[in-house]
Structure 1
Amino acid sequence: MPSKKSARLAALTVAAACSAASTVALTTPAHAETVAVHDIQGTTRVSPYAGQAVSGVAGIVTGVRTYGSSKGFWIQDPNPDADPATSEGVFVFTSSAPKVAVGDSVTVNGTVSEYVPGGVSTGNQSVTEITKPTVTVLSSGNAVPAATVVNKKSVPAAYTPAGDPAANNSVNGLTLRPGTYALDYYESLEGMNVQVADAGVVTATDPYSELWVTVKPHENDTRRGGTLYGSYASQNTGRLQIQSLGATADFPVANVGDTLAGVTSGPLDYNQFGGYTLVANQLGTLKSGGLERESTRKQKKDELAVATYNVENLDPSDATFGEHAAAIVNNLKSPDIVSLEEIQDNNGATNDGTTAADVTVGKLIDAIVAAGGPRYDWRSIDPTNNTDGGEPGGNIRQVFLFNPQRVSFTDRAGGNATTAVGVTEVQGRPQLTASPGRIDPANTAWASSRKPLVGEFVFRGRTVFVIANHFNSKGGDQGLTSQYQPVVRSSETQRHQQATLVNAFVKDILAVEKKADVIALGDINDFEFSGTAQILEGDGTLWSAIKSLSRNERYSYDYQGNQQVLDQILVSRSIKHDGDFEYDSVHINSEFHDQISDHDPQILRFQP
């Protein structure tokens, strides 16, 4: 889901910062009123005191954040009310390192604010905070209020209520029902000290010292220890992000399938990229699940092996060429054709007009040979500078690698960045007007996005048409914990347009030869059950072959504790109906903290 990586990298350090641009302005501060924390939190997501001055807010300090842009501390009232909808904890934003310690009994005067991480335009929920505080420490060394246990019994099975149509489908004004909806349950604990125990890791530790766990280990579980995202209507309610208030060096380096054994506890926060997040004062002990990288089998002599692999902004300066080569040779067993996505130009992100990628591709091919693989040949089309999205200056594109000892490429002149490839009939068979070529590159569906690369291959005398895709990302979509329910997936509008054009192109081929072998593959940036996939498939024009796998194996990406399909290989009727094919999602990256790409490669073996 901008590049999924670059957007996150740019914003993560300020994800929880309190700024005027990200604060819901409600009413002008009035005279300070003495209230309790649960009065401030109220029974909805927005405080009834938002924008007002309050005084004498009493609580015990449960956590202190001294780093980043959101410095401050959490307090919790040790004398809760009887309403489960009202949180007893709240964050006090100090902007500089706070001068309190865990266990201090304090009173706070300040202004109640509703801060929206990432800004109001994201659709994120807001965090209730006390800003511009005056803090009085009454005593120190007090017992911290006991952590609320979050487990499979306490978290409801239903994810969220529908938003109020009169409020643009926002849930902000709805009374919380923590016994009915998971998001209401988490909101009712916002700012409070919570704990999870023996929690299974469902997204590996990332470079920012955070991971995801689930308190429901059997909720849509995959066979390797993750949690499957298999439907818009079936959300995984047990997921929580884990961060830490301690030293980065002490954060566990975990893979999917590992366990945070024992207790992990701390305040429950809400941030831009993870939604509800347990910011730990105490971290469980990492227990390894022993997850290992997968390898597929070698194709037989009469099988054509076709793979897709997003190599994540690969450019000549990267140190991962040897690892990518080893993955292609050892884990994918040297496929006959490899569609690569996110190959950058010869100087990567240097934005100087360079568009050629022969150095990048050549370095990868040499590394494959060094790893014991074949010397691949390759075909691609250089994009027009800075028109295909991705990292500015990087000019990412799709590239075909193919093993000339096993398969040949049919070259036809005329393909370039701006000329549309077509289909003609020659002696009753379909033929590309240019090979390689690009599908309708001037169409607005491809604005700031990669254009599909089409090539004509021959294997054992049989022509196979391959379309390499990299659809636009999910950047700009509302998060699953958005205040708007159901969430708006604005990015899919463009993917639907892109899918329509690819489907139409495949139909042009099949109109000439009904039984033509056509493969459309790549980083589709959408799920196998999505509207994008349905448009690509059309009325049986194509079929996403990942659906031949059992449900708990259908994933190529892991995002916020949800294992999901973004990379797909779709096949024409002749391949599907023949039934003599084998599909494999080869899990070598998405589940591991030391991943060389955030995508798992996909491979299809069949007999043309």
Structure 2
Amino acid sequence: MLAVSPVLIAAHPAAAAPSPDVLVAEVYGGGGNAGAALTHDFVELVNKSAAAVDLTGWTVQYRSATAAAGTAWQATALTGSIAPGGRLLVAEAKGQNGTVALPTPDVAGSIAMSATAGTVAVAATADRLTCSTPDECAADTRIRDVVGYGNAAVREGSPATGASNGAAVARDASSDDTDDNAADFTAGAPTPVNARGEVPGTPGGEPAPTARIHDIQGTTRVSPKNGAQVSAVPGIVTAIRPFGSSRGFWIQDPQPDDDPRTSEGLFVFTGNATPQGVALGDAVTVTGKVEEYYPGSADAAPQSLTELTGASWTVASSGNPLPAAVVLDAASVPDVYTQDGAPDTLPLQPSAYALDFYESLESERVQVADTRVVGATNTHGELWVTTEPGQNPTAGGGTLYGSYTAQNPGRIKVASLIPFAERPFPTANVGDTLSGPTAGPMTYDSFGGYGIAATTLGNLTSAGRTPEVTRDQKTTELAVATYNVENLSPKDTQAKFDRLARSIVTNLATPDIVALEEIQDNSGPDDDGTVAADQTLSRLVAAISAAGGPAYQWRSIAPQDGKDGGQPGGNIRTAFLFDPKRVQFVDRPGGDATTAVDVRKTWYGQTQLTASPGRVAPTDEAWANSRKPLAAEFLFRGRTVFVIANHFASKGGDQALDSRFQPPTRTSEVQRVRQAAVLHDFVSKLLASDPKANLVVLGDLNDFAFSPALRQLTSDGSLRSLVTTLPADEQYGYVYNGNSQVLDHVLTSPRITRFEYDIVHVNAEFADQASDHDPQVLRMRPSTGNDFLDAIDRLFEDWLDRHPPQ
């Protein structure tokens, strides 16, 4: 029971012959320790022979994990006999914690065993053993079996691993003895059984449950039994998660109550240990501690999952039918997403609110069928579907997030519990269909909210979508694009550079100017003080040229090390690519990481930037730990065009739409509103100097068209948001948790009236993507600043469009 720190020594496997009869079946040294359910340590023996074995004069012995010679063995004398195929339970020391007693032990001892490392032997002798190495013990013919666990110096082969306060090491069900503890034993929840087949609980092995699942789940989000120990909770095993850091299995009560607020499902958490001795359809009784688990962090306000931890269980029968799955569809899922207030404590209203409905089904079997994919398969093997196909559909088959109160309750995540080697997870794009039934327990995580841990997975029916290709700009059109290239650095593969290059050349039709976001420095995420990004940008330019694009040039300003946020060490920044055959960059010195660009008039009345490129108010607190806007001047067909590239502060720290607190808090919004105000002040100054200026403000503003930050930029009419000029079902370029939304924007000054704007869907809706953002392109005809000349120019441009130069 006391943790020890053994000294490791090298040892070769012992050469003892496998025992002909009695073996150690299970060892548990965590009894009564902090977090343990059971009160006692124990050793369980099994007789694998066909005849009873008289144990008179035998002992179970224990030594610490140390390699020191002369380390004393402790012994518990055995009595009676063990039946062929039977078990014998030896109780050892009792700890200070735990609430669950062992079944009545066949032998009682008092050895305090380590929870994590030690050696147990069963020996046909009453004498204390003296061996201190694997070879010495293998040579002792009195020893029937040796089990070393943790870092035990004495063991057979390699020691068994994974023992802890909540986990025993148990011999695999076959009871074979290969003389390799690591191969023969697996860590898992302790499952003591005595000679009469009794399990933890009252004598007789069939204890009455202290609670049923619906009693544990209760009528709110938090269990009324949170923190309490419960025993003999009955249920049918409906799913098993044998992988990851949150392993365990789901059970569901086949005898539900009549309260729709109380879930009949429960997750039994086994930590890093794969659940042993349970299979789908097993009827089990489970003992453990009720806990509310908050995925990620409770401070981030996710929903919680009610679980049983430190659990032990017994199987009463196998092959039982699984409880019928609750169907999730447009008829069953409420149209209203949530109720305001503190849902932790408010009684659930599953017929009124979608979040309450999902919570009332937590860990129960649910099913969707023939559902449209609204979030493409990600790298974690997850996708999103909608149970309400008519809910705010996009042109691409997704679900549009159009306001803070239009959360789209039909969205639900799908992950798989089926091994990928047995059934590969479908590679789905938005608009595809997951045909047939998809079923499994309702679960929740902080990276997607409520979802199905699928034991039955539908088949993918492709919608046949391919990435979009925008048209080429005409001779008289200036094409300006924005593209978030997602932490691009020389550490990335050439394949990513090539993918981005092809999308710029083919899908975006080689814009004249490309504002890039998330360009990392030359060392990428290595936090080594590097700030220059010439290698990143030059490699992208080379890839574009190799893909058949123009010989772009680039301009940027390196940030101060560690001052612009993003991935630590990456020093992300904005940058401009431009085609020198189509547009001229006006280079004007003076711009650096901390010098603010300003606006001035020449002696002949022309408005200019004091530096090009130059950063907008880079020392203002609004840009703390965030990217600074990059302003530049360009000339196109003799006309000045001002372009400001942006990447506003991220949404990190905001509570999710599915937060347990409603409405969720958007703390990051405050900084973006301040950033919008600073940027707006600069725009106002430029337009005050030249009200007819051709000005394009674009980039990843990390906020929605309906957000306060965008209102700050557009409410006085100095800038127009072009996303609102598109049809409503096309106003998106980013997909998050099944919601199609817009974070990237192009805004223009009032003088720009002749334009065409396109969000080019090449990434966000596709499983195979070069970035998680879709690029956008503006094709515009810059104004001369003179209405008469603009009218004449329009006639000439129209003629030139009909007669392009050869």
TM range (shorter): over 0.9
| 2:377 corresponding residue in structure 1 | 205
Instruction: Measure how far apart 1:55 and its partner are.
Output: 1.5
- Kept in 2, the 8 Å contact 1:209–1:248? The answer is no
Distance 1:409 1:538 in 2: 31
1:377, 1:401 within 8 Å by CA — same for their partners in 2?
yes
Aligned to 1:226: 398
Q: Which residue number corresponds to residue 132 of structure 1?
A: 310
1:295 corresponds to: 469
- Which residue of the other structure, out of 534, 544, 554, is the alignment partner of 2:711? 534
Mean CA deviation greater in 234-243 or 312-321: 312-321
Offset at residue 239 of structure 1 (A): 0.5
Aligned residue number for residue 167 of structure 1: none
Residue type of the alignment partner of 2:507 = N
Work out whether residues 428 and 513 of structure 1, in 8 Å CA contact, stay in contact via their aligned partners in 2. no
1:258 aligned to which of 416, 423, 432 = 432
Q: Percent identity?
A: 58
1:273 maps to 447
Q: 1:581-604: CA deviations, max 9, x gaps?
A: 111000000011110100000001
Partner of residue 78, structure 1: 254
- In structure 2, which of residues 665, 669, 690 is the aligned counterpart of residue 513 of structure 1? 690
Distance in 2, Cα, partners of 1:92 & 1:386: 43
Question: Which structure is larger by alpha-carbon Rg, 1 or 2?
Answer: 2
Match 1:434 to one of 604, 611, 616: 611
- Within a 5 Å distance, the mapping from 1:387-402 to structure 2 comes to 387-402=563-578
Q: Check conservation: 1:503, 1:538, Cα contact below 8 A.
A: no
* 1:115-514 alignment runs, 5 A limit: 115-163=293-341, 170-249=342-421, 250-318=424-492, 319=494, 320-426=496-602, 427-514=604-691
Query: Which amino acid is 1:279 matched to?
Result: A
After TM superposition, the structure 1 stretch with the greater mean CA deviation from structure 2, 98-107 or 348-357, is 348-357
Q: What do residues 218-266 of structure 1 show as CA deviations (whole Å, max 9, x unaligned)?
A: 1100111111111111110111011111113511111111111100000
Question: Aligned letter for 1:189?
Answer: L
Answer yes or no: is the 8 Å Cα contact 1:365–1:375 preserved in 2.
Answer: yes
Deviation at 1:180, TM superposition (A): 0.6
Q: Taking structure 1 as reference, are residues 449 and 145 closer, same or farther at Cα in structure 2, changes over 3 Å only? A: same
Report the alpha carbon displacement of residue 30 of structure 1 after superposing the two structures with TM: 8.4
Distance (whole Å) between structure 2 residues aligned to residue 428 and residue 181 of structure 1: 61
Structure 1 moving runs of 4+ over 6 Å:
28-33
What TM-score, normalized by structure 2, do the two folds share?
0.70
* 1: CA distance, partners of 2:410 / 2:309: 31
Q: Is the Cα–Cα contact under 8 Å of residues 106 and 136 in structure 1 kept in the other structure?
A: yes
Structure-2 residue corresponding to 1:16 = none
Aligned residues of 1:345 and 1:396 also touching (Cα < 8 A): yes
CA distance in 2, matches of 1:94, 1:503: 54
Deviation, structure 1 residue 29? 9.6
Distance 2:568 2:263 in 1: 44
- Residue of 262, 279, 286 corresponding to 1:101: 279
Contact residue 590 and residue 597 of structure 1 kept, 8 A? yes
Q: CA deviation at 1:356?
A: 1.1
The answer to whether the 8 A contact 1:72-1:91 is kept is yes
- Partner amino acid for 1:512? S
Secondary structure of the residue that 1:39 maps to in structure 2?
helix
| Paired residue secondary structure (1:136) | strand
- Look up the equivalent residue of 2:585 and give its one-letter code: F
Q: Deviations over 1:177-198 (max 9, x none)?
A: 1111000110010010111001
Specify the SS of the correspondent of 1:34: coil
Write out per-residue CA displacement over residues 422-463 of structure 1, whole angstroms, 9 at most, x where no aligned residue: 111223332111110001111111111111100011111111
**Structure 2: which 5+ runs fail to align?**
1-33, 36-96, 101-200, 202-208, 783-806
Q: Secondary structure at the match of 1:94?
A: strand
Number of residue-to-residue matches in the alignment: 574
Q: Which residue pairs with 1:50 in the alignment?
A: 226
Q: In the alignment, is the contact (CA less than 8 A) between 1:29 and 1:52 conserved in 2?
A: no
Give the distance between the partners of 1:372 and 1:405, measured in 2 at CA. Answer: 15
SS of the residue aligned with 1:199?
strand
CA displacement at 1:510 relative to structure 2? 0.5
State the alpha-carbon separation in 1 of the partners of residues 686 and 99 from structure 2.
70
User: Quick one: distance in 2 between partners of 1:589 and 1:398?
Assistant: 20
Question: Which digits, 9 at most, give the CA deviation of each residue in 1:50-92, with x for residues without a partner?
Answer: 1111122111000111111111111000111111111110111
CA drift of 1:480 comes to: 0.8
Residues 32-59 of structure 1 deviation map (CA, whole Å, 9 limit, x = unaligned) = 9711111111111111111111122111
Aligned-residue offset at 1:347: 2.1
- Cα distance in 2 between the residues matched to 1:143 and 1:313: 49
Q: Any idea what the Cα deviations from partners look like across 1:278-307, whole Å, max 9, x if unmatched? A: 000010011111111101111111111100
- Counterpart of 1:592 (choices 761, 766, 770) is 766
Q: Give the drift of 1:538.
A: 3.5
- Picking from 548, 553, 560, the partner of 2:730 is 553
How far 1:486 moved relative to its partner? Answer: 0.3
Distance 1:450 1:523 in 2: 10
**8 Å Cα contact 1:351-1:392 kept in structure 2:** yes
Q: Distance in 2 between matches of 1:317 and 1:59?
A: 50
Tell me whether 268-277 or 583-592 shows the greater mean CA deviation: 268-277
Contact (CA 8 Å) 1:428, 1:512: kept in 2 or not? Answer: no
Provide the C-alpha distance between the structure 2 equivalents of 1:545 and 1:363, rounded to a whole number of angstroms: 31
C-alpha separation in 1, matches of 2:611 and 2:730: 37
One-letter code aligned to 1:432: L
* Counterparts of 2:440 and 2:331, CA distance in 1: 20
How many angstroms apart in 2 are the aligned matches of 1:30 and 1:115? 21
Name the Cα RMSD after superposition.
Answer: 1.5
- How many Å separate the matches in 2 of 1:581 and 1:137? 70
Structure 1 distance, partners of 2:244, 2:410, is 27
1:4 matched to which residue of 2? none
TM-score where L is the length of structure 1: 0.93
**How far is the alpha carbon of 1:276 from its aligned partner?**
0.6
Per-residue deviation, 1:136 = 1.3
Q: Aligned partners of 1:56 and 1:363: how far apart in 2?
A: 63
Q: Secondary structure of 2:751's partner?
A: helix
Q: Would the aligned equivalents of 1:29 and 1:111 in 2 still touch at CA under 8 Å?
A: no
Distance 1:282 1:88 in 2: 20
Q: Residue 710 of structure 2: SS of its match in structure 1? A: helix
Cα distance in 1 for residues equivalent to 2:255 and 2:214? 10
Q: Name the SS of the counterpart of 1:368 in structure 2.
A: helix
